[in-house]
A and B are shown apart, each in its own frame.
Chain A
């Protein structure tokens, strides 16, 4: 193939599809290359779809996108070994269309999204791995594929995911650091729809997400989750890779232990496990975002480390960055300008002006705070659950004494100075 394209998009995940769709809709000649047998077959996510980011690309996506359940209830659990303290937000307003978020199954969703990309006019080639970037001096001029061909384009958008070997090998950014990525493992368990609905107190089409922190991560910085799909549940846990490395706990063991927690086991009981996945999640935040543009290239989605780990958002940042990259390219092409680093810098500006980098910037201190203060994932969950247990056990001890016991447990574990310091650190991190 010696054909030349306006843009080559590497990868058919949310970022790549958003970019390719926007470019093709804007009239550009787009080639998209995907290494999986079909789009989605290499992609892993929890998965929650946030409607807003997709609405801005495909406004009527609800007509035919494969959506599982819309979320009407969000639970946050802080777990000790045998208990949890939780908060729940459930709202009838979240049950009013258009719905704000849905559970999805990525293999199905990505295939659907890719269909839209092809309808818009992009050419998709699957089962093809891009083996390297074709350089013309300092400029990216195209890609080499494992089918032996080289394809050329004015712009290459790298939407090749968290590992982004291409950008790394081209020297655009250094290798990932273990403390900048979380390793998440998850399983999907199938159960009859009525069983899911009665266990989670929802009607057909309604869903629940449970986000969890505490002892399930065995002292590491991380979180767990449980999402309701139509006729399945996804359950998973993820922690900083640097913690997995030093603690010596196998990720699948952590997941198995989590599934046995007395608050979790009844929810998944009797489910048939049909798939086990693992994935790295970029969690380094704002400071870990690499250079995202250069001569003839742009980075989008996970490849650009665009994940808001605090709010468990990633695919919406991916889609938005893909769209913004495409809009940048369309604007340059429309003005007859070349895809040079200088001109493509407008993409970074668009990211800075959107929620994507605004949110990452807001929480830029958080990854370091958590990495250096494991007590938020160890001491506090136990203290909170211990306090709840003390206060809620009726045993003839007067309440004033109980309050004193709770106060003492906190001070003993963290010291007055430690408590104040932790409060300050959290305030600064979330400020």
Chain B
């Protein structure tokens, strides 16, 4: 098993505590209507987790701000995606 957390640990972040910049619009859509839940395996920072009961949980702290989750959710448009507030989020040392 690859621990993406170990990769993300190398990165620099300024987390906007309590103000996630991405939110799932309607949890029921993920749980009941979306079968494949591509965000749970496409997100390069593994921010999305598929729970045992089919729910999808999102923790944005490791987000790389690529936009993948928003673009792949094209059937359901269930990802409310904003950039973090200015100065917050990933801070690439090298990019």
- A: residues with CB less than 8 A from B are 35-37, 40-45, 47, 105-108, 110, 126-129, 145-147, 162-163, 165, 175-178, 181, 183, 185, 187-188, 232, 241, 244-245, 248-253, 256, 273-280
Contact = CB atoms under 8 A, between A and B. Distances in A.
Given A276-B8, A276-B10, A36 B71 contact: no
Interface size range of chain B in the complex = 35 or more
Contacts of B44: 183, 185, 250-252, 278
A35 B88 CA distance: 8
A251 to B, nearest CB: 5
A252 B7 contact: yes
Nearest to A47: B95
Contact of B64 (A107, A181, A277): A277
Nearest to A253: B2
Interface of B: 2, 4, 7-8, 10-11, 14, 36, 38, 41-42, 44-46, 64-68, 70-72, 74, 77, 81-87, 89-95
Contacts of B41: 244, 248-250
Given A162-B67, A275-B11, A279-B66, A126 B72 contact: no
B85 to A, nearest CB: 5
A37 B91 contact: yes
A45 B4 CA distance: 20
B94 A178 contact: no
A244 B68 CA distance: 10
Nearest to B83: A129
Contact of B83 (A47, A105, A165, A176): A165
B21 to A, nearest CB: 9
Nearest to A248: B41
A350 to B, nearest CB: 28
A241 B77 CA distance: 16
B72 A241 contact: yes
A276 B72 CA distance: 21
